[in-house]
Amino acid sequence: MMEAFQFEFMRNAFVAAVLASICCGVIGVYVVFKRMVGLSGGIAHVAFGGIGLGYFLGVNPLFTVLPFSLAAALGIGFVSRKSKLPEDTTIGIFWSIGMALGIILIKLTPGYAPDLFGYLFGNILTVSMSDIGLMLVLDILIVLMVGWLYNDLLSFSFDEDFARVSGVAVNFLYYALLCLVALSVVMLIKVVGMILVIALMTLPVAMAKQYTHSLRKTIYLAVAFGAFLTISGIGISYLYNLATGATIILTLGTAFLLSSFFKTVSQQFSKMRR
């Protein structure tokens, strides 16, 4: 296992795992507790349209997916707030249209679509130094914003009506969170792919919330769990030659199930002793 560190791509993969866990833990907490999981899943899938656009225009898809995801995030957010459609209907519509658009654009592009599988399911072993730089910038942006607006975000997530009445910039926070989700999706495409992004945002948080009643500690724990389990997942995929993105998600999923199981058993046990 240790010889893995000799390879630059493995070292990059481990650094990327930690950086991805920071952004997923911090943003994931708000996605989970503000009940934006469906919305975020929608954004992640619409992003496929952006990938298709990149192929069609003959440019690096990462350049087209960024503006495309941001526009999609604002679009989904706006329509789910302003229209009379139920939020999940809106998400379903955007989700499928985005993916359909991506497929048409890729089919229209002459020749073979390289790396398509990589965008869908990720390959953390191909993360480059410039990717890492980009992730670092996004992490700093997210940590600064959440650090500054922590109390506003707490009020907004807990009770939006009260937050609005007490002067919190509720609309700004809503769209800012959606944009950060979109940026995170773009950043995580390399790590786990757009299909699996949502698992990386929710699983560490779901696990962390079993151990604390403080939002701040939930964030710290989610980042720690995410980093540890993502790195373990990369290790397992290296040892058994499995697809990295999927192995990371299965590692997170297994850990979450085990953690829930032990939590339930220990609660039952302490009830019996009482």
Partner 1 sequence: MTQNNKIIELKNVWVSFEGQIVLEDINLSIRKEDFLGIIGPNGAGKTTLLRLILGLIQSDRGEVLVFGRQPKDARKFIGYVPQTTVFDKEFPISAWEVVLLGRLNQVGWLRRFNPEDKKFAEEALKTVGMWHLKDKQIGQLSGGQRQRIFIARAITQNPKLLILDEPTASVDKPMQVGVYDLLEKLKKEMTIILVSHDIGAVASFVNKIACLNRKLFYHDSKEITAEHLEAVYECPVDLIAHGVPHRILKEHKHP
Q: Strand (E) positions, 170-271?
A: none
Reduced to 3 states, what is the DSSP secondary structure of residue 242? coil
Q: 69 or 155, CB closer to partner 1?
A: 155
Residue 110: DSSP 8-state:
S
User: Contact letters (x/-) for partner 1, 135-154, by CB under 8 A?
Assistant: -------------xxxxx-x
Contact pattern from residue 21 through residue 40 relative to partner 1, giving x for each residue in contact according to CB under 8 A and a dash for the rest:
------------x-------
Q: What angle do CA 90, 99, 247 make, to 5 degrees?
A: 105
Q: Identify residues 62-91 at the interface with partner 1 (CB under 8 A).
A: 84
Whether the Cβ atoms of residue 67 and residue 50 lie closer than 8 Å to each other: yes
Q: Say how many C-beta atoms besides its own lie within 10 A of residue 144's C-beta.
A: 10
User: Tokens standing for 119?
Assistant: 């965008």
d(CA 65, CA 60): 9
Asked whether position 209 contacts partner 1 by CB under 8 A, the answer is yes
Among 60, 83, 166, 267, binds partner 1 (CB under 8 A): 166
| Half-sphere exposure in the Cβ direction for 32 (13 Å, CA) | 22
273 part of the interface to partner 1, by CB under 8 A: no
Q: How far is the CB of 260 from partner 1 (least distance, A)?
A: 13
Part of the chain binding partner 1 (CB under 8 A), chosen from 52-60, 86-94, 214-222, 246-254: 214-222
The contact set with partner 1 (CB under 8 A) reads 33, 84, 148-152, 154-155, 157-159, 161-168, 209, 212-215, 217-218
